[in-house]
Chains A and B, each alone.
Chain A
Amino acid sequence: MNRLRAKCAIVGVGETKVGYVPGVTIMSHNLQASQKAIEDAGLSNKDIDAVLTRKPARDPTLCYSLQIAENLGISPKCTTDLDTCGTTPVTMVINAVIAISTGLCRAVLCTIGMDDNQSLKQQIPKHGQLNYGSEDFEYPWGFIGAPMAFAMAARRHMHLYGTTSEQLGAIAVAMRKHACMNSNAQMHKPITLQDYLASPLFAEPFRLLDCSLVSDGGGAVVITSAEMAKHLRKPPIYILGLGQHNFAHSYFGPLEVITPFKKAADEAYHMAAVSPGDVDVAEIYDCFTHSVLVQLEDLGFCKKGEGGSFVEGGRIELGGELPINTHGGLLSQAHIVGMLHITEAAHQLWKESGERQVKNVEVALVTGLGIRQAPFGTTGVLILGKEAS
């Protein structure tokens, strides 16, 4: 048995109101979410000895995690601002597992706050923003922002495998259906495939409804050793498996090749001793519709090139064979860089998801992905379960 399997557990989660939340700062989202997660675990600030966060990309601040700790009255042994783009929350959990399983720390708080929606709408002045590092070879040609990069990956997928707009649309429709069952979601109006096909072209082949939301909101999780978790308020959610893998291409790698998700998932499945067929619910990073389809292939739910047909016919909707993003995902709940994929997986395992609860959930899979030189530059996979054995 792998020595990291079920050695750590998620013991508490917290979320703040998402969507358009004017007047609530990034720090406030972090602190509110953290307070809820610590309380959910039945712990106090004195129990937390590590804080992990992501530097606010639109307003970078030195030692941001230590500022959060300071506000919460925590004097942490370990504290770090880390960043793997959209994989960041999964990377936080992996780092928490490393810190706890080596005995360095006991209880790790992972938190993210965002104010992207109000910043955009109100043009809130910033002190600066983090760069990708390759702007000089992209921006002068009007190649700006993630949608264009992922659109080109989607175009290749369509070219090679005959994937259709209707198949991308099926993902958008499913995520919206789930968001409509979530009171804390940015989007509440159901959409049909016709609505999707009528939505304006954005960066072809993407329409507006292929793209994730711009959101305010926050999310946090607390992780402890499995041993400590047994004595806390809620049953432990064991971290059964984890994996992270990243591209190291010289530049713009082959967009259709198997993404680093294959290796990340293989490692996570192996560690957890589960296979794709054991997964009851999947919270899959959905920065764009096409990203979901590619992951379904590389995570082993279907063969390469068959992601399009897999998502048809309601298979990924609640009640389907593999419910995906039961909270509505980045496409329809909110874009908190995927932290709410982790909190939703926990809610599902604790049977707290109400109307959108999947029956008999034993194993949940969570992913994160980021863009670094190319789409899917960073990838990470977590496998969570209620039983340690």
Chain B
Amino acid sequence: MTEYQKPVPIPNEDTKPFWDSLREHKLVIQKCSQCGQFRFPPRVICPYCMSLHSRWVEVKGKGKIYSFTVVHYAYTPAYRDALPYVVAIIELEEGIRLVTNIVGCKPEEVQIGMDVEITFEDVTPEFTLHKFQPASKT
């Protein structure tokens, strides 16, 4: 098996619960215990009320594509085989935006405003990444 070449995070005290949950195929977002605002990426203090107290809340992983780009160049050689790939900003139903990849459809089918849902990709034994795909019709 070839070694995973793409960048992986370096978790710290503030971000470890996020990565641990992804490994269990759960998306958790930090929520301020004082004012109730979600925040991302994880950090020690609430930028709305400066409270140092927060908890981790599992979210549904549903949202819309806020914007996206189809990438045609490899910033590091590790992405060469992945080209072209889609980087997108998703706006979750909870109001948080995060960076992800769109999978499960062709790059030319991706559109701003498209409904998407989370899927998980176990990239190494330690790390799982969230990815998003077109929402299933319900």
- Is A229 on the interface with B (CB-CB < 8 A)? no
Q: A137 CA to B11 CA in the complex, in Å? A: 10
Chain A contacts of B75 at CB under 8 A? 142, 144-145
Residues of B with C-beta under 8 A to A137:
9, 40-41, 98-99
A137 to B112, CA, bound (A): 21
Q: Could you tell me the distance in whole angstroms from the C-beta of A247 to the nearest C-beta in chain B?
A: 12
Q: How far is the CB of A206 from chain B (nearest CB, A)?
A: 8
From the candidates A136, A138, A142, name the one contacting B85 in the complex (CB within 8 A). Answer: A142
The answer to the question of A252 belonging to the interface, with a C-beta cut-off of 8 Å to chain B, is yes
Instruction: List residues of chain A with CB within 8 A of the CB of B96.
Output: 251
**Is there contact, CB below 8 Å, between A135 and B7?**
yes
* Chain A: minimal CB distance from B68 (Å): 6
User: Which residues 1-26 of B sit at the A interface, judged by CB distance below 8 A?
Assistant: 6-11, 15
Chain A positions within 8 Å of B82 at CB level? 142
Q: Is the CB of B70 within 8 A of A141?
A: no
Chain A nearest CB from B56 CB (Å) reads 15
The A contact surface, by secondary structure, is mixed
Chain B residues with CB under 8 Å of A205's CB are 69
| CB-defined contacts of A155 to chain B, threshold 8 Å | 67-69, 112
B: number of interface residues (CB 8 Å): 38
Taking residues whose C-beta sits less than 8 angstroms from the other chain, chain A's interface range is 20 to 34
Q: B62 interface residue, CB < 8 Å from A?
A: no
Q: Does A156 have its Cβ within 8 Å of any Cβ on chain B? A: yes
Q: Please list the residues of chain B having a beta carbon within 8 angstroms of any beta carbon in chain A.
A: 6-11, 15, 39-41, 47-48, 66-73, 75-76, 79, 82, 85, 87-89, 96-101, 112, 123, 127, 129
Hey, which chain B residues are within 8 Å of A252, CB to CB? 89, 97-99
> How distant is the Cα of A248 from the Cα of B76 in the complex, in angstroms?
30
Inter-chain contact B99/A141, CB cutoff 8 Å: yes
Distance A352 CA – B101 CA, assembled complex (angstroms): 49
Q: How far is the CB of B120 from chain A (nearest CB, A)?
A: 13
Judged by a CB distance under 8 angstroms, whether A152 is at the interface is yes
Q: Which of B15, B66, B123 has the most CB of A within 10 A?
A: B66
Known: A136-B10, A142-B6. A248 touches B47 (CB 8 A): yes
Known: A250-B40, A251-B39. Contact between A142 and B87, CB under 8 A?
A: yes
- B43's closest neighbor in chain A, by CB? A250
CB atoms of B68 and A140 under 8 A apart: no
